[in-house]
Structure 1
Amino acid sequence: MAITAADVKALREKTGAGMMECKKALTEANGDAAEAEKILKEKGLAAVAKRAERATSEGRIFVRQNGNKIAVAEVTCETDFVAKNTDFIALGEKILDIVFEKGYTKVEKELEDLVLELATKIRENMSLRRLEVIDVPAGSAASTYVHSDFKTGAVVVVEGSDSDDVKVFAKDCCLHLAAFTPSYTTKEEVPQSYIDEQKEIFKAQMAQDEKMASKPENVKAGILQGKINKHLAEICFVDQMFVKDDKVSVAKKLEEVSKAVGAKLSFKKVALYILGK
């Protein structure tokens, strides 16, 4: 059966495969478009399988709020070039569409199949690395943020009021997360093993300081604790200096906003999403 240019074009538009690949597949399938599409898919799957062990260190963070729910999806790929591809971006948005439509709260096969379909077409290893759905309680203010490189995202939900002032505060907190990338929300979340490790590091540094050697042990202990407290304030969200007012901590700013709106506010959700972490 003769293969026409129109046949090749139609198959190319449907599969996204190259012109020569489409022509070869149609020839192999004796002009049967459906069979040619199957051949291309099988070849694409084979290519993806070969790439399965390749690192997917690029990609995008997708965040969207729909009513009282916020969905976050992290879709990864091999190259920044593909991460900027319109089909890849459309894939992330489609995943969020389905999450809200079907109420998914974790990675489901339907979503994995969508990723595999595009990976087969582009022939680059991809994965839906993370999916999270966050509930926003009634009377709460929520905000989301995705940085311009799409590799960092943030979600903050503040309970106690949904006033405009609290919404602005929640948005500022998202910007704060992206700017200062705290490792923890509060000191209580920091593992004791991490604190002990930092103490050993600071002790070693102090031991190399000649001026420190002559100080009494109780003074050294106080200095050591001061260093730990300062370090924890640097890595814990509520203790960091607020992004819009570096004279007060995030916790203090929360108190100020609480007084301003006449409500007791608290953080229901504070989440930072960094691609690959």
Structure 2
Amino acid sequence: MAVTAADVKALRDRTGAGMMECKKALTECNGDADAAEKLLKEKGLAAVAKRAERATSEGRLFMRQTADKIYVVEMTSETDFVANNAEFVAMGEKLLDLTVSKGYTEVTQEHKDLLTEVATKFRENMSVAKVEVIDVPANAAGAYYVHSDNKTGAVVVVNGSNADDVKTFAKDCCLHIAAFTPSYLTKKDVPESYINEQKEIFQAQMDQDEKMASKPQNVKDGILQGKVNKHLAEICFEDQMFVKDDKKSVSAKLAETGKAVGATLSFATAKLYVLGK
């Protein structure tokens, strides 16, 4: 059976494969479009396996909130060209649909199989790198945020109230986390080994400062601890100055919001998401 240009174009539209590959597949399958599509998919799956070792440093974060949960899916690809493609984005939403409908809390084979649909078409190594589900209790306010680069995001859940003011505060905290990228929630979460390392660094800097030589040891100790405290305030979420009020810390705004709604608030979740981390 003769293969026409229209046949090749129709198969290309169905599969996304190259024109020459479509023509070759149709020729091998004697013009049977269904058989040619199957052949292309089989070849595509083989190609996907070969590409599995390629680095996937690009991609997107996808998030969605329901009444009592926030879902996070991370999809990776080799290039930002593919990551910004409409079909890649649509697949991310499909993966969210699957996660929500099936109640998945981690990456499953079903996620991987679904992703194969676009992986074979774009001829890039892709992966579902992360699937997470964060609970939002009945008496809590949850929020999420994905930055415009689609590579940075945050999820915050505040326990104690689901009042509108608390929901707004939770959303603002997501913006804060994405902007200031704190390493820890509170000072008590910082490993002692990290604090000791920072002390050594600050001590070495002070030892090289001639102005420090004449100061009493207790003064030096106070200066050293002050430097450590300042550093911790910069990397710990609750101690950072709030993104929408740089005169107050996050913890102070938490207390202020709680007072306004008549509740004692606390952070159940305050998490930063960065593609590939």
TM-score category, normalised to shorter length: over 0.9
SS in structure 2 opposite 1:70?
strand
The answer to whether residue 103 in structure 2 is matched with residue 103 in structure 1 is yes
- Match for 1:115: what amino acid? L
For residues 25 and 191 of structure 1, the distance between their equivalents in structure 2, rounded to whole angstroms, comes to 59
The answer to whether residue 248 in structure 2 is matched with residue 254 in structure 1 is no
What are the equivalent positions in structure 2 for 1:1-277 lying under 5 Å apart? 1-277=1-277
Displacement of 1:199: 1.1
Displacement of 1:49: 2.7
Q: Deviations over 1:98-125 (max 9, x none)?
A: 1111111111101011122311111001
Displacement of 1:33: 2.4
For residues 153 and 129 of structure 2, the distance between their equivalents in structure 1, rounded to whole angstroms, comes to 14
Displacement of 1:43: 2.5
The ranges of structure 1 where at least 4 consecutive aligned residues each deviate by more than 3 angstroms after the TM superposition are: none
Displacement of 1:14: 1.7
For residues 82 and 128 of structure 2, the distance between their equivalents in structure 1, rounded to whole angstroms, comes to 14
- Match for 2:18: what amino acid? G
Question: In the comparison of the two structures, how many residue pairs are matched?
Answer: 277
SS in structure 2 opposite 1:251?
helix
Displacement of 1:48: 2.3
For residues 199 and 46 of structure 1, the distance between their equivalents in structure 2, rounded to whole angstroms, comes to 53
Q: CA RMSD in A?
A: 1.2
Displacement of 1:39: 2.4
Q: Deviations over 1:67-124 (max 9, x none)?
A: 2111001101011110100110011100000111111111110101112231111100
For residues 254 and 33 of structure 1, the distance between their equivalents in structure 2, rounded to whole angstroms, comes to 61
Q: Deviations over 1:183-213 (max 9, x none)?
A: 1111111111111111111111111101112
Displacement of 1:19: 1.7
Displacement of 1:172: 0.7
Give the gaps of 5 or more residues in structure 1: none
SS in structure 1 opposite 2:52?
coil
Q: Deviations over 1:103-153 (max 9, x none)?
A: 111111010111223111110011111110011100211111111111111
Mean CA deviation greater in 125-134 or 1-10:
1-10
TM-score, normalised with respect to structure 2:
0.96
For residues 29 and 161 of structure 2, the distance between their equivalents in structure 1, rounded to whole angstroms, comes to 64
TM-score, normalised with respect to structure 1:
0.96
Give the gaps of 5 or more residues in structure 2: none
Displacement of 1:20: 1.6
For residues 207 and 52 of structure 2, the distance between their equivalents in structure 1, rounded to whole angstroms, comes to 49
Displacement of 1:47: 2.7
Q: Deviations over 1:203-237 (max 9, x none)?
A: 11111101112222222221111111110000000
For residues 210 and 50 of structure 1, the distance between their equivalents in structure 2, rounded to whole angstroms, comes to 60
- Match for 1:6: what amino acid? A
- Match for 1:61: what amino acid? L
Mean CA deviation greater in 2-11 or 95-104:
2-11
Displacement of 1:62: 0.4
Q: Deviations over 1:37-63 (max 9, x none)?
A: 232123322332332222111100101
